[in-house]
Chain A
Amino acid sequence: MAYILNFKELDKTSIPSVGGKNASLGEMIKAGIRVPPGFAVTTTCYEQFILGTEIKDDIFGLLADLDPDDVDALNTAASRVRALIIEATITPEIADTIKEGYHQLCRQCGLDSIPVAVRSSATAEDLPTASFAGQQDTYLWIEGADNVLNRVQRCWASLFTARAIAYRTKNNFPHDKVLISVGVQQMVNSRAAGVMFTLNPIDGDPSKVVIEGSWGLGETVVSGTVNPDRFVVDKVVMETSEKTVSAKHIECIFDHEKAEVINADVSEERQSVCCLADQEVKALATVAKIIEKHYGRPMDIEWAIDGTIDFPDNIFIVQARPETVWGQREKKSVLGNKSGYQLLMEQAMKRIKIP
C-alpha cells in the first residue's frame, strides 16, 4: 500500500487506509463537490514509521497493563509515547515521500509554496461506539515541506492522548489495532466559514438546509464561541425562509506575525454585517443537496468561503459526516394512512384556537 494517496484517488472504501475524514473528502471530490486539494498520509505509512524507527515495541510496552483510572500513570505513559513519536527521526523513504506529496500539491495549485491544513483522520473515528472525534489534532496554516512533516508526526502522536488511551483501555480496544492517517490539504483563505445541515436540526424538517456561518475560520462556529449568522433555505424552491444576522464579536484567523491561528476581535461595525451574500447562501444550499443525495442520508457539513477567489469558485466543502440526531430516528409516518377525503374531513372539523 502506498504511503500517500491524492484525495482524488480516495472514496468511501478507502477508510481502512486513510481514515474517515480523508475518505469522505475523496468521496466528495468524486461526486463533483469543490473540496480543497490535498493528499492523505496512509495508515500504512504510519505503521511503517513506527516499524522503521523501531519505536513500536517501546510504545506498546508503555501502554501494556495500564490502569485506566490511575490518572498519573496514564498521563506519564501518554506523554512518553507522544515524545517517542514526535522525536523519532522519520526514515528517509517516508520523509521524502511526504515532502514530495507536499511539493506535488503546490504544483497542483500552481504555486511554489502553499499553506496547508494538517489533520489527523483516525480509522476508528466514525464508529459510533468508539467516537474519537475531536481528540486528534488539526494544524492550520502550515507552510513548507519540513513543517508539514513535523505536523504529520504530531498528528500521529495525537493518537495517544491520555483520554484516548483510557477510552481504549476501558473498552478493551487494542492500541495496536487503532491506526491513524493524516490529511494534508490546501488551506482555504477563509473569509467566512461554518457548518450546515441538510435538514432543520430544530424540527427535523427534511425540506430545509440550515446554514450557520461566521467570519474567518469555521472553528468559532463549530466550538460555539460566536453566535453565528443563520440561514434556512428551502431545498425545493430555494427560497431563504429565515435569515438571522448576529453580532459576531470574534473571528478565528491566522496571525502571520505570530504564525499561529488566533481569535481576533471583530470591529463593531463588521459584527452585524451578514457574513454571506445571498448568492453564496443559495450556492451552499445547492452543494448541501448534492452531498445529501450522494450519501443518501441527512448530512452535517463544514464549509468555507475563500476571500481571495471570485464567486462561484470560492465555495469549498471541508468536511461532511452523517447527521446523527434526526438521521438515526426511525422513519415514521407523519400523516397516518389517510385518504384525501379523510384529510379534508379533518380540516373541515378544525377550529383554529387563538390563545
Chain B
Amino acid sequence: MADDASVRFPDPHEFLLPDELKDWEEMYPSHHLFSEDRAEWEKQQFWYQDKIHAPEPVPPLDHIFQEAWQIALSQYTTRVFCIPPAQGIAQRMVGGYLYICAIAPPPDEIIGKKAQLFEKRVFYVFEHYEELWDKWLKKFQALGKEMAEIEVPKEMPEFVPEDQVLPAPTGSYVSYDLIAGFNKLVNNMIKGWQYHFEMLNLTYLAYLMFADVSRKLFPGISESAIGKMVAGAYVSMFRPEEELCKLARKAMENPAVAAILKGDDSPAEKVSALSESAEGKDWLAAYDKAKNPWFFVSCGSGWYHHEGSWINTPEIPYGYIKSYVERLERGETIERALDEISTERDEIVEGYRELIKTDEDLKAFNDAYNTIRTIYRYAEDHLFWVEHWYHTIWFSKIRQFGKLLVANDMLDSVDDIFMFNRYEIPELLTEVSTGWALGVDIPMRGNYYKAKAAKRKKILEAAREWNPIPALGVPPEEIAEPFTIMLWGITTDKVKEWLKGVDASADGNLSELKGFASSAGVVEGPARVLKLLKDITKVQPGEILVCPTTNPSWAPIFTNIKAAVTDIGGLTSHAAIVCREYGIPSVTGTGMATTAIKTGDILHVDGDTGVVTIVKKVDEA
C-alpha cells in the first residue's frame, strides 16, 4: 500500500502548522525535529501521534521522559535482547506533539545474528524471572532513594560557610554543586528509564505470543478474554487505592475521626483538626506511613509536571477518603474483591482449557500460559515504580531548582523551569553560578529567560487548542515491533480506520468509531470528553469518559463512570486493564474519539465488539 496516494497521511515535511505555534521548534532538541538532512528517510516512514505518552503538548523539560524512552525501549529490542526482525521506535516532535515510528526490519543478515542472541538471552530471563524481579525492585528503589537524596542548594550564600574553607577548603562550592546536582538528576532519570524497559519488551512479546496461541485454538476469542486470562489482581498500581481504603476503614473506628474526614474542610484544616485528638494523631500517623511510597502517585499519567501528585495535591486523596467514608457509612464495600478477581481469572483459564481437544494442544497452551504469567506482572508493576513513584521524586527535585531560579530572579514562578529543556537548564544554572561568582551588582539575563518562558507557555496553550492529525507519512507494509501492536494498538485495520476518520471528521459526520473491545459490556450514556487530565473533577456519575488515554491512577473515578473510550491504547494499555478490573465496558484505540465526540453526546459503547456509536449529537438535542 506504500505508493498509493489515497492511503497516505500528510507528508511530515510539507505539513503546515497554525501561526500561533511559530517557533515551537526551539523548545526541543534538534534530533527530535523533522529535518531536511534526514528528509528522504523520514518521508518513507509512518509517523503516528503517541497519545499514550503525550496526549497533550509536551513542555520542554517533560520531554526528557520521551527522549529517555526512545533510547531505552529501542535498545532492548535492537541491541540487548535482540528481537530478530524488530527495530526501535523513532520519535519526532510536531507543534508540541509527539509522533513515533516503528522502524522497518533490518537486513536478513542482522536478523540471523539477533536470532541467536535472542535465544540465549531471552529464555534465561523467563527461567529466572522471580529472582530478576526482586533484583530489579531493589535496584530501582535504591535509584529512587539516590535521586531523593541529591542535594539542591537552597540559596546562593553571601559567603561560603566557614566549614567549607577551614581547616581545609573543600575546593568546590555551590556554583559547582548547582550544576552537578542537576546533571546528576538528569542522569538518574535517564538511568531510571533504562531500567524501566528491562523486561518490558519481553513481556509484550510474550503477551503477543499467548494471544496468538489463544487465537489459533479459538479463532473468535475476544481480546478482552485474553486480557482477563493474563491480568493479575495483586498489582502495585492498585496499592495507592488500597491504602486509601485501609485509611477509610481506620477512620471508621472512631466517629470523631470519620466526621472530620467526611467534612468539607480543606485537607490542611482536616489535618489540624485531627491533630487535636490522640485518635486523630494516630490516623495521621497511619496516613504518613502509607504516603511513601504509595501516595507518590501522579494525579494523571506521570508524564506531565502539571498533573500534580497525591503528595502535593492532598485534595485528591482526602477527597477519595471522604467518599469512601461516606460509602462505608452506607454499608457499601469499597475494596476491589481481589480474591474474586483472581478466582475468576483461574476459572476463565480452566474454561478455555476444557475446550481444547488434543493433549498436544493442551500442553502447548499450558506452556504458553505459564510463559506469559511468569513475566506479565512486570507490565503491571513497573508502572507504579517508574511513572509514578520515581517521576514524583523527580518533579519535586526539579521544583527545588525552580525555587532557586526564582530566588535569583531568573524566573517568575517555580514551574516556569519546565519551560526549558534539559539542555537549556544548565545554561540558566550556569548564569546563576556566574553571577554569584562575579560578585555583587552583576547584571543577569533574567528578563531574557522570563520572556522565553512566557512565550513558550503561549505556544503550548495554542498547541492545546490545535487538533493534530493522527498520523503522518506512509503506512508500512509490515509491523514487527511488539509495542507498536500491543501498547499503541497499531494494526492494518487501525490505520484504515484513521484514514477513514481523517476524511469523515472533516465532514463532521463520523457517527461510529471502531476500536479494541478491551473490556466487555454494553452501555449507553452521555459523553464527557476530557483532553486535559486536570479536568477529571468535571466528570459526573454515570457519564462515559472519553479521553486520549486513561490511567490507573484515576482509579477511584472508575467507580463513578459507565464506560471509558480512548483514542489510543491496545488491550493491555492502562485503560484496558483498569476497566476490566472495575468491570466497566471499554473501547480503546479508536483513534478519533476525542475529536469526533463532544461532551453531552449520547453514546452507545459496546465493549464486546469494540464499537462506539454516537446515538445523539449534543447540538441536535
A residues sitting closer than 8 Å to B (CB atoms) are 200, 203-208, 232, 234-237, 239-243, 278, 331-341, 343-355
Contacts and interface: CB of A to CB of B under 8 A. Distances in A.
Interface stretch (B191-199, B207-215, B306-314): B207-215
Contacts of B105: 351
B370 interface: yes
Interface stretch (B34-42, B138-146, B182-190, B471-479): B471-479
Secondary structure class of chain A's binding surface, majority of residues: loop
B81 to A, nearest CB: 9
A334 B219 CA distance: 11
A236 B337 CA distance: 20
What 8 A-B pairs come out closest when comparing CB atoms?
A236-B351, A340-B371, A347-B209, A340-B367, A207-B218, A333-B360, A335-B364, A351-B480
A343 B364 contact: yes
A351 B484 CA distance: 12
B618 interface: no
A196 to B, nearest CB: 15
29 contacts: A204-B219, A206-B357, A207-B352, A207-B355, A208-B220, A234-B220, A234-B225, A237-B222, A237-B228, A237-B351, A237-B520, A239-B225, A240-B608, A240-B609, A241-B222, A339-B364, A339-B367, A340-B370, A340-B371, A343-B213, A345-B115, A345-B118, A348-B83, A348-B118, A350-B85, A352-B480, A354-B475, A354-B478, A354-B492
Contact of A337 (B357, B363, B517): B363
Given A341-B123, A349-B84, 8 more contacts: A207-B352, A241-B608, A335-B365, A340-B126, A340-B367, A353-B477, A354-B476, A355-B492
Given A341-B123, A344-B122, A239 B360 contact: no
A142 B476 CA distance: 65
B364 A338 contact: yes
Given A237-B520, A239-B225, A344-B122, A337 B206 contact: no
A243 B611 CA distance: 12
Contacts of B491: 352
B371 A341 contact: yes
A32 B208 CA distance: 41
Interface of B: 1, 83-86, 105, 111, 115, 118-119, 122-123, 126, 205-206, 208-209, 212-213, 216-222, 224-225, 228, 348, 351-352, 355, 357-358, 360-361, 363-365, 367-368, 370-371, 475-480, 485, 491-492, 495, 517, 520, 522, 608-609
Contacts of A340: 126, 364, 367-368, 370-371
B352 A239 contact: no
A91 B20 CA distance: 100
A236 B352 CA distance: 6
Contact of B348 (A236, A240, A331, A333): A236
B220 A207 contact: yes
Contacts of B122: 344, 348
A234 B216 contact: no
B478 A352 contact: yes
Contacts of B357: 206, 331
A242 B268 CA distance: 53
Nearest to B496: A354
Contact of A346 (B209, B218, B351): B209
A90 to B, nearest CB: 50
Nearest to A208: B220
B522 A278 contact: yes
Given A352-B485, A353-B478, A354-B492, A331 B225 contact: no
B609 A335 contact: no
Nearest to A278: B522
Contact of A354 (B126, B222, B495): B495
A235 B225 CA distance: 11
A332 B209 contact: no
A336 B360 contact: yes
Nearest to B212: A347
A234 B213 contact: no
Contact of A239 (B111, B205, B520): B520
A352 B208 CA distance: 12
A336 B221 CA distance: 19
B520 A335 contact: no
A334 B216 contact: yes
Given A205-B219, A348-B84, A352-B479, A237 B224 contact: yes
A334 B368 CA distance: 14
B217 A334 contact: yes
A147 B520 CA distance: 51
A348 B478 CA distance: 14
B340 to A, nearest CB: 15
B586 to A, nearest CB: 13
B106 to A, nearest CB: 12
A237 B83 CA distance: 33
Given A340-B368, A343-B213, A344-B205, A242 B609 contact: yes
A205 B218 contact: yes
Given A200-B219, A335-B216, A343 B355 contact: no
A206 B205 contact: no
